[in-house]
Amino acid sequence: MISFPKAKINIGLKVVEKRSDGFHDIETIFYPIPLSDALEFVTISGKTREDELVVSGIDIKTRPEKNLIIKAIKKIRTSYSVPTLKIHLHKVIPSGAGLGGGSSDAACILKSIIKRFRFPVSEPELKSIALETGSDCPFFLNPVPSFATGRGEILKSVKPLLEGYHLVLINPGFHMSTKEAYYNCHLSKPETSLEKLFSHEISDWKKYIVNDFEDFVFKVSPKVGELKSVLYKLGAVYCSMTGSGSSVYGIYEKKPKIPDKLKEYIIFEGTI
- Annotated catalytic residues are 8, 136
Cis bond before residue 157 (omega within 30° of 0)? no
To the nearest 10 degrees (0 to 180), the angle between helices 101-117 and 68-77 is 40
**Residue 270 CB neighbours (<10 A):** 12
d(CA 238, CA 37): 26
Residues 6 or more apart whose Cβ sits within 8 Å of residue 32: 6, 7, 8, 143, 144, 145
Sequence-distant (6+) residues with CB within 8 A of 259 are 234
